[in-house]
């Protein structure tokens, strides 16, 4: 980890650009200027910049929150009367979601301008400056995990070039682990916001809700899986890992019930439910009836592989839902028993998206990386909607596994194939996984 930091900081130190003096001779040589009508987060970004400068060299920069400048170099955070319409000149880019987060840092007449398409993007500009130009790192929540590069007391000068940035992926969401202020602060510093809602992000097992035992258990036991000659009707109440099930998907009525349930689910909250997940996660109660098994290629059932029957079922439901809700989507989780591509389902319906699971931590094993990439290419050809990746950091390990170069290859490979999301299941034993997050 120290070696990686050294590389990053040396790169920043040797880059060419205009010299900007922030602190000299133990006194502030710059003023942070925040518009009077700035949002709370933009004001927070100004305070964060001042505090980071103080932690680096012992001198805080004054913050003017009225939009009026002060002494020395001016650091304008957000729009000002000296801003230019060309400060963020990325209108020709076609990635709308990323454009909302586009930002620029510019040096003009000796002053700095942090601008963005939105208040959040303005914050990204400031946080990018703190990381990439001041060399500060936040490896995990809390002060213990903050890295401050060596700096002379009472002196701070940076070399800065103009830059425009459009995020490669948008939006970046870190699910959970934000129960404390330190976690929320860390999320914000790392430009991950759980308040942003992407359209296609549902992937868990929501299908079971379509077959409540209280409604169908007695009247339609044939909807439930046949296990060792008997219909498995789970007990009433919350489903557990032992009682999770996948319905008898060869039954046409089962697909019709699912389609009706999904339509009603969309209609119950149209503004916040653009997608529904038919993802099969850790399900063990899977139908053994002759009709379902007939949908499997030879030997698939014995190998615990159910891609053909499952994706045929998903397509059947998706076609029905599309008749009434053409702008809504169905999600699937390409995982475990469903990770291998089906033999007899060459294409998914155009309203279906998927999250493909993978653990790039095991790419050290010869042939694994290329096999995963070939599998990914195959799946990408079967979907018209962009895929998402479901990754794991820290899965099944009691020792440190730190592999940033592998992560870099994996994310760039997915990006080249047009993936729109990366969801990572993270095991937060901080010494192991926090630096990778």
What CA–CA distance (Å, rounded) separates 104 from 110? 16
Report the relative pairing of strands 421-426 and 352-357 from DSSP bridges. unpaired
Structure token pair of residue 246: 């996948």
**Residues linked to residue 333 through DSSP beta bridges, in sequence order:** 355
What CA–CA distance (Å, rounded) separates 253 from 251? 5
What pLDDT score does 174 carry? 59
Q: How many residues does the chain have?
A: 437
Q: Could you tell me if 341 and 321 are in contact, meaning their C-beta atoms sit under 8 angstroms apart?
A: no
* Sheet strands (E) in 386-428: 388-393, 421-426
Structure token pair of residue 193: 């916001």
Q: Where are the alpha helices (DSSP H) in 218-328?
A: 252-268, 290-293, 307-324
DSSP 180: S
Topology of the domain comprising 19-180: Chitobiase; domain 2 (3.30.379)
Q: Using 70 as the pLDDT threshold, list the residues of the chain that sit under it.
A: 1-16, 67, 84-86, 88-99, 168-179, 193-199, 428
Predicted structure pTM score: 0.80
Q: Could you tell me if 107 and 158 are in contact, meaning their C-beta atoms sit under 8 angstroms apart?
A: no
Peptide bond into 171 cis (omega under 30): yes
CA atoms within 13 A on the CB side of 105: 19
What pLDDT score does 24 carry? 96
What pLDDT score does 196 carry? 52
What pLDDT score does 393 carry? 86
> Could you give the residue range(s) of every CATH 3.30.379.10 domain in the chain?
19-180
What pLDDT score does 177 carry? 61
Structure token pair of residue 26: 């133990």
What CA–CA distance (Å, rounded) separates 89 from 101? 13
What pLDDT score does 3 carry? 28
């Amino acid at each position: 980890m120290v070696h990686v930091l050294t590389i990053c900081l040396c790169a920043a130190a040797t880059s060419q650009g205009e010299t900007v003096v922030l602190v000299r001779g133990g006194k502030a040589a710059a003023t942070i200027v925040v518009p009077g009508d700035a949002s709370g987060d933009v004001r927070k970004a100004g305070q964060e910049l001042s505090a980071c400068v103080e932690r680096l060299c012992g001198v805080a920069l004054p913050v003017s929150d009225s939009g009026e400048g002060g002494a020395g170099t001016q650091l304008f955070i957000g729009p000002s009367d000296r801003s230019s319409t060309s400060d963020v000149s990325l209108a020709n880019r076609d990635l709308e979601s990323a454009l909302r987060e586009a930002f620029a840092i510019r040096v003009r007449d000796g002053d700095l301008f942090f601008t963005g398409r939105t208040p959040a993007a303005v914050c990204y500009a400031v946080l990018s400056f703190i990381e990439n130009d001041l060399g500060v790192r936040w490896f995990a929540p809390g002060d213990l995990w903050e890295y401050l590069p060596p700096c002379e007391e009472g002196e701070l000068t940076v070399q800065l070039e103009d830059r425009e940035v459009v995020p490669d992926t948008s939006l970046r969401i870190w699910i959970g682990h934000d129960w404390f202020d330190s976690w929320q602060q860390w999320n914000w510093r790392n430009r991950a916001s759980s308040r942003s809602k992407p359209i296609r992000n549902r992937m868990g097992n929501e299908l079971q809700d379509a077959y409540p035992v209280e409604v169908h258990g007695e009247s339609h036991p044939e909807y439930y899986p046949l296990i060792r000659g008997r219909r498995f009707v789970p007990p009433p109440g919350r489903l557990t890992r032992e009682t999770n099930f996948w319905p008898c998907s060869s039954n046409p009525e089962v697909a019709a019930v699912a389609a009706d349930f999904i339509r009603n689910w969309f209609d119950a909250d149209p503004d916040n439910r653009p997608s529904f997940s038919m993802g099969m996660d850790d399900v063990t109660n899977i139908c053994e009836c002759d009709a379902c098994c007939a949908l499997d290629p030879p030997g698939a059932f014995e190998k615990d592989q159910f891609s053909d029957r499952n994706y045929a079922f998903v397509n059947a439901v998706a076609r029905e839902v599309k008749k009434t809700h053409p702008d809504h989507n169905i999600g699937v989780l390409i995982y475990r028993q469903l990770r291998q591509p089906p033999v007899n389902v060459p294409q998914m319906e155009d309203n279906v998206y998927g999250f493909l699971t993978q653990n790039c931590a095991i790419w050290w094993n010869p042939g694994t990386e290329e096999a995963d990439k070939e599998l990914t290419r195959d799946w990408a050809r079967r979907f018209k909607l962009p895929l998402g990746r479901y990754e794991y950091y820290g899965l099944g390990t009691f020792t440190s596994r730190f592999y940033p170069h592998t992560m870099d290859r994996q994310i760039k490979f997915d990006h080249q194939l047009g993936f729109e999301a990366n969801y990572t299941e993270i095991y937060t034993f901080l010494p192991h996984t926090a630096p990778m997050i």
